[in-house]
Amino acid sequence: MTVVMAFAIAYLLGSIPTSYIVVYLFTGRDVRSIGNGNPGAMNVWDNVGLAPALLVAIGDIGKGMAAVSAAYLLGLGDTQAVLAALIAVAGHDYSIFLWFHGGNGTAAAIGGLFALVPSATALACALAVALFLVTRSKRFSGAIALACVPVFAFVAGYADMKLIGVLLLLTMTAVKIVRFEGFTPERSRPPR
């Protein structure tokens, strides 16, 4: 019963439509009608502004962290915590509050990573900021930094289950991004 409760909490946390709420409060518009239609922090940054995007990112990262933390607070182990992180990302991607639509789950996955492998994720975030300052490319900097998380986590000596969780979270996020945006800029917008 505790596992079911943890997973239900994870899904509901992940489903909170942070970008929808923030964009509506700032603009009165539905984030899904702005930019590429993706209800995520990057679309908000590109089309609404940095301050709202930071609020979205904080909320979405917080959802992933809270899902993992709830699993641990309920006395569950690493395997269930990893599953809670994955379920939170699924909740973000397929939100019950947005009729099972959502973003790519990147920020929620980052939150899960912070809760599972904090030092590795913090180092990757520092790398992302440094790369962004040099390249001015949000997507390139983020992709390189996320790809480094498993390496940093391995070097830091995290448990095998947490390393598997890192790989699963990154794979799940990559699949959703490729599915939504494709590999080329021309596919970054959904068909009208």
Q: Which range among 113-127, 142-156, 167-181 shows the weakest confidence by mean pLDDT?
A: 167-181
Percent of the chain residues past pLDDT 70, beyond the cut: 93
Task: Determine the pLDDT at residue 103.
Answer: 76
Q: Average the pLDDT over 101-111 and give the result.
A: 85
pLDDT band at 190 (very low <50, low <70, confident <90, very high): very low
Residue 163 has pLDDT above 90, yes or no: yes
Q: Average the pLDDT over 68-87 and give the result.
A: 95
Residue 89 has pLDDT above 60, yes or no: yes
Beta carbons within 8 Å of 50's beta carbon, 6+ residues apart = none
Q: What is the pTM of this model?
A: 0.84
Residue 191 has pLDDT above 70, yes or no: no
Task: Determine the pLDDT at residue 133.
Answer: 92
Q: Average the pLDDT over 42-49 and give the result.
A: 86
Task: Determine the pLDDT at residue 1.
Answer: 82
Q: Which long-range contacts (CB under 8 A, 24 or more apart) does 3-9 make?
A: 3/76, 3/80, 5/74, 6/70, 6/71, 6/74, 6/76, 6/80, 6/84, 7/83, 7/84, 7/87, 9/67, 9/70, 9/84
Percent of the chain residues past pLDDT 90, beyond the cut: 57
Task: Determine the pLDDT at residue 104.
Answer: 78
**What Å distances lie between residue 141 and 7, 41, 85, CA to CA?**
32, 15, 23
Residue 137 has pLDDT above 90, yes or no: no
Residue 186 has pLDDT above 50, yes or no: no
Q: Which long-range contacts (CB under 8 A, 24 or more apart) does 177-184 make?
A: 177/104, 177/106, 180/38, 180/104, 181/36, 181/38, 181/104
Task: Determine the pLDDT at residue 79.
Answer: 95
pLDDT band at 181 (very low <50, low <70, confident <90, very high): low
